[in-house]
Amino acid sequence: MNMVIIRNVALVSLILLFHGLEIYARPATFQQDFKVTWADSHLKLVEGGRAIQLILDKNSGCGFASKYKYIYGRISMKIKLVAGDSAGTVTAFYMNSDTDTIRDELDFEFLGNRTGHPYTVQTNIFAHGKGNREQRVNLWFDPSADYHTYSILWNHKQIVFSVDEVPIRVYKNNEAKGIPYPKSQPMGVFSTLWEADDWATRGGLEKIDWRKAPFFAYYKDFDIEGCVVPGPTTCASNLINRWERPPYQTLNPTQAQRYQWVRSNHLIYDYCTDKSRYPVPPLECHV
C-alpha cells in the first residue's frame, strides 16, 4: 500500500493512491490544512478567504504551520512580500523537522530592504543538525508588487529551491561521500513574519522604521505534495512518487541554463566562498 497526500488550498487538496486507485476529496481551506502558531490576531483571511495576510507591528509578528508533517515531496506557496521600506523585516517560508537536537530544515528567508534596493532571498539547509549553509540571491523583480511562486523540491536525489520555476539553489544527495542529507525526519511547513533588524538588512546596519508599521505579507495557493506522517512507511521509499521520477532527479537543460543565469547575475553570497567563516570550504562545496 502506498499513500500520498497532495494538498492545495486553492484547488484539489487530497489524493490517496491505493493500488493505483485515485480518490479525490473536496478542496481544502487554510483552516483545514494549517494552524496559527503565534499571534493569531496578526493573521487574517483576505481576498474572500482565498489568501491570508500576515501582520508585523511593534507588538508582534506572527506565524503559521501545516497540521501535518511530510517526508519527501514538493511544496510551494504564492507570496507577496512586504512593500515599501521593509528594512529589518524577515518573511520566512520553510520546512522544519521541529526537533531540538538534530534538526533538518529547508529555508527561504526574504530579507527586507530600504526602498529602491533589491529584495534578497536567503536559503539555508540543515541536515542532521548541521546548518550554516547560507546562500543569498537578489531577486530580479519587485516581489512586493504581485504574487510570485516559491517552491522547494525534496527527493532522494536533490533539493531544489525555485522562484517562479527558476532554480536558485540545488543541493545534491552526496551521502556516499560523507555529506549529510535530510532523509529520515519528516518536516512540517512553516511561515513567519518577524523583526530581525540586528542582521536582516545589510548585516544589521539598516534598522526597522516602526513609523512605517504595520508591515504586511500575503500568501495564497498553498500546494503541498508529499508523504504524510504518520502514514504508510512504504510511501517515502516508493520511487514511483511523482517527485521521485526522472524529470525531478536532475535539472533539465532549460532549468540548468536558468540556474546558471541566476548564479552568474544575482548570487551575492555563498558560504562556500566565505573564507572568513570557512578557511577550508565544507566538503559539499567541492562536489
Q: Which residues are catalytically annotated?
A: 105, 109
First-to-last alpha carbon distance for the chain, in angstroms, is 37
d(C-alpha 23, C-alpha 204), whole Å: 50
Of 94, 222, 217, the closest CA to residue 149 belongs to: 222
Of 92, 89, 136, the closest CA to residue 115 belongs to: 89
Distances in Å between the Cα of 5 and the Cα atoms of 49, 95, 187, 246 are: 23, 16, 14, 20
C-alpha cell at 269: 553570497
105-111 and 267-270 beta bridge pairing: unpaired
d(C-alpha 15, C-alpha 75), whole Å: 15
What residue type is assigned to position 281 of the chain? P
Strand partners, 55: 216
Helices (H), 160-270: 253-265
